[in-house]
Amino acid sequence: RRSKQAREAFARGLALCLEVVEEDPRDHWAWLAVYRAATLAGDEDARLQAATHVVCRPPLTPELAAALESTDWIEVAWLAGRAANNQLKNRRYESARDLYALATSMAARLHGRETLEYGIVAKGLASSSVELDDLETAVAAIHEAIHAFRAVSDPRITGAQIVLADAMARGGAVDEAAAELREAIAAAAGPERAELRVQAGVRLAQLLAQHDDPAALEAGEAVWRDAREALSPSDIAYLRAAATCAHRRWASGEQEQGCALQREAVALCRQIREPGDHELVIRQLDLARMERELDRPELSAELASEVIDALQALGRHDDVQLGEAYHERGLAEMKRGRGGAAAADLGAAINVFTMCFGSESPRVLEIQKLRGTFVY
């Protein structure tokens, strides 16, 4: 057992490390020292605080990743996965891939490859790699994830099949991707896997639509029927099915019907998600676009304003969705003939996208060009 003197020495060491990070909170190597000192001192709060700074605050350098990969810090492995998931949601794919690569390396060593922990982060690595068109990494990682989920009989295997289908489609194997999704839907029969089955159905409808397959509308209607029969309106997959069917109706020329169904999805999502929630924001911005294109710019601007207010209240000033909301409201204001308001919103969108993607990114250049096309 540790003596009183040893415990006091560990506490003094922790205090010294904390003094260093107070002087420079961006010193990630100092936070590593805090983590080690807090572990020795038995200070769980300081240890978790340090782990959070190590994983979530830096850009993750190769040197820092190498230092972490050899550790036995469960908290760091877990937080790497959480941080990667947040980056993936915010479409910062390179950062997400780097964090998922760290998380998979740590999970393989700490938990083993045939575990749920490993499967979850391997799936995330595959998802972020697909978005970066790094298909070799994506396919290798998703097969690892499928193997892990199969080893523990976890239903997340359906989600992994969806990612595999995405990788196939990116590589041009669209028919094979659709077959993989149909196989996933068939394998997920039964009420206990209804949510995953609906998710696969949503992705199938989206895939077919992306490649102008006339079967996309029926796929959208089919997954919406399945969701209504098998899921509760409080399930997020139910809402995604509604939104997917709304898009398919819209694309097939049934704009008012599609908009009405999207409006229903937004109303349901408001009941189960807080303002600013990722899923709610997606639905609100989709509906805003539909209302604007149906010559109801006032409703479009109102929806976009709800998103802007919610994200700003949460302090998410560099969130991609905030840029999308400003862009949408700017387009609505243009349609209303309010040039000054439109210019202000488009300028705000440029600022957000510059923070997210850089000043020379295609999105920033596109909006700058649009902003320069009208007089205000």
Residue 212: is it exposed, middle or buried by C-beta count within 10 angstroms (0-12/13-18/19+)?
exposed
Q: Reply yes or no on whether the pLDDT at 6 is more than 80.
A: no
Q: Give yes or no for a contact between 310 and 281, defined as CB atoms under 8 angstroms apart.
A: yes
For residue 311, the SS3 value is: helix
Q: What is the Cα–Cα distance from 165 to 375, expressed in whole angstroms?
A: 46
Q: What is the Cα–Cα distance from 277 to 258, expressed in whole angstroms?
A: 22
Nearest to 207 by CA among 242, 168, 239: 168
Q: Give residue 1's pLDDT.
A: 46
Instruction: Tell me which amino acid residue 171 is.
Output: G
Q: What is the Cα–Cα distance from 110 to 66, expressed in whole angstroms?
A: 15
Q: Give me the residue spans of the domains in the chain.
A: 315-376
Q: Give yes or no for a contact between 60 and 88, defined as CB atoms under 8 angstroms apart.
A: no
Q: What is the Cα–Cα distance from 160 to 241, expressed in whole angstroms?
A: 19
Q: Give residue 72's pLDDT.
A: 80
Q: What is the Cα–Cα distance from 197 to 161, expressed in whole angstroms?
A: 11
Distances (CA, A) of 178 to 192, 201, 252: 23, 10, 20
Q: What is the Cα–Cα distance from 140 to 167, expressed in whole angstroms?
A: 10
Q: Give yes or no for a contact between 376 and 340, defined as CB atoms under 8 angstroms apart.
A: yes
Nearest to 197 by CA among 184, 206, 207, 209: 184
Question: Could you say which DSSP state residue 349 is in?
Answer: H
Least confident of 36-45, 133-142, 295-304, 324-333: 36-45
Distances (CA, A) of 255 to 40, 68, 207, 229, 246: 63, 52, 20, 25, 9
Q: Calculate mean pLDDT across residues 215-240.
A: 94
Q: Give residue 2's pLDDT.
A: 52
Q: Reply yes or no on whether the pLDDT at 238 is more than 60.
A: yes
Q: Give residue 374's pLDDT.
A: 64
